[in-house]
């Protein structure tokens, strides 16, 4: 078992974050996932080319250059084709998503789940509020004609607790973030504010309240942004965050994509903050027979969730109001 040391646990709880270097073998965990996503990009490029949305499939380019060119040529970021979650609104029967076996292998990787178990205890649930982020160099991202801003840029300051429903405010949710390729400051690594988790849940301002439309944002006046520290990372390492640690990502000013996964886990039985999405038991000492080890079953429960969500009104995920004085 890859358990955290007492010193690491103490640092995590004190600072609100912990960098665990060389946790897993990237050639074993990440390279097969990269190969899987090559196929996803192949299908996306084929569909867009067939519809006339792009001029070429760009088959001779490597993955990062190819996804960047597909986005640029189509004038749109197609993040949903790669993501293993669903959007918060407008879900249809065929809304794009990806739940391949190599992604499941990453979510259920024993080393990653060991670390989660070190913090959460023996009963570990894979929280469904999880994403893959593929961010091209910001200078090459298509511009949103309505806002004048790039369609995918730096992630604003937020707490993960702030982007889920209030029912999970008392849940002990752990974020496990890691890059698929090395992520330094130029490429847009994360920044964290040490000990900010001690200040409780802060007001988040919705898209359009000065944050360029990239999601919820905590106004700078509500926390000590000057204490922020960047966390450059090598592939195979993970960054652990509490659900109330203030963090953001820097802009990708490099010449290649910044590719990352942010996974989340919580104790079994606690609210996930997005009940309409399906999670699974990643580890249970009390009832090991409940653990999910079947990648196809994981993909099936997400297809079922999409089917049911397509038949109903959009659930409400946002508790915040742009009229809050903090958002002025």
- The verdict on residue 2 lying in a domain is no
Residue 226 lies in a domain: yes
Mean pLDDT by 10 residues, the chain (328 residues): 91 98 97 98 98 97 97 96 95 98 98 98 98 95 84 92 95 98 97 97 77 75 96 98 97 96 98 97 98 98 98 91 86
* Residue 13, in any domain of the structure: no
HEC profile of 226-284:
HHCEEECECCCCEEEEECCCCEEECCCCCCCCEEEEEEEEEECCCCCCCCCCCCEEEEC
CATH number of the CATH domain containing 131: 2.60.120.620
pTM for this prediction: 0.95
Q: What are phi and psi of 295, to 5 degrees?
A: -65, -35
**Domain annotation covers residue 12:** no
Domains of the chain: total? 1
How far, in Å, CA of 177 to CA of 164, rounded?
Answer: 17
- Asked if residue 270 is part of any domain, the answer here is yes
Q: What is the pLDDT of residue 210?
A: 45
Domain ranges, residue 55: 21-327
Contact between 199 and 171 (Cβ < 8 Å): no
In a domain, residue 14? The reply is: no
For 260-298, the pLDDT digits (tens) are 999 999 999 999 999 999 999 999 999 999 999 999 999
Report if residue 4 sits inside a domain. Answer: no
Asked, for residue 6, whether it belongs to a domain, the answer is: no
């Amino acid at each position: 078992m890859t358990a955290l040391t007492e010193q690491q646990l103490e640092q995590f709880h004190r600072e609100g974050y912990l960098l665990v270097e060389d946790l897993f073998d990237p050639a074993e965990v990440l390279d097969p996932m990269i190969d899987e996503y090559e196929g996803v990009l192949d299908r996306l490029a084929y569909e867009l080319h067939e519809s006339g949305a792009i001029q070429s499939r760009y088959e001779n380019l490597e993955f990062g250059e190819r996804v960047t060119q597909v986005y640029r040529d189509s004038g749109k970021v197609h993040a949903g084709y790669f993501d293993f979650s669903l959007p918060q609104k407008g879900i249809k029967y065929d809304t794009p998503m990806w739940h391949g076996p190599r992604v499941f292998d990453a979510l259920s990787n024993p080393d990653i789940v060991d670390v989660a178990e070190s913090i959460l205890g023996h009963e570990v649930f894979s929280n469904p509020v999880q994403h893959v982020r593929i961010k091209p160099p910001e200078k090459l991202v298509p511009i949103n004609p309505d806002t004048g801003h790039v369609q995918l840029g730096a992630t604003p300051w937020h707490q993960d607790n702030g982007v889920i429903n209030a029912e999970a405010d008392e849940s002990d949710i752990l974020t496990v973030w890691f890059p698929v390729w090395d992520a330094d400051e130029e490429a847009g690594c994360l920044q964290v504010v040490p000990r900010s988790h001690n200040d409780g849940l802060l007001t988040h301002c919705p898209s359009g309240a000065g944050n360029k439309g990239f999601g919820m944002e905590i106004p700078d006046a509500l926390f000590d942004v000057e204490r922020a520290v960047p966390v450059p990372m090598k592939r195979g390492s993970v960054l652990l965050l509490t659900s109330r640690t203030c963090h953001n990502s820097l802009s990708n000013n490099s010449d290649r994509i910044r590719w990352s996964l942010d996974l989340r886990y919580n104790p079994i039985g606690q609210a996930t903050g997005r009940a309409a999405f399906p999670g699974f038991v990643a580890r249970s000492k009390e009832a090991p027979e409940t653990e999910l080890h079947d990648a196809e079953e994981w993909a099936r429960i997400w297809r079922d969730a999409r089917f049911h969500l397509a038949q109903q009104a959009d659930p409400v995920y946002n508790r915040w109001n742009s009229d809050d004085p903090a958002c002025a």
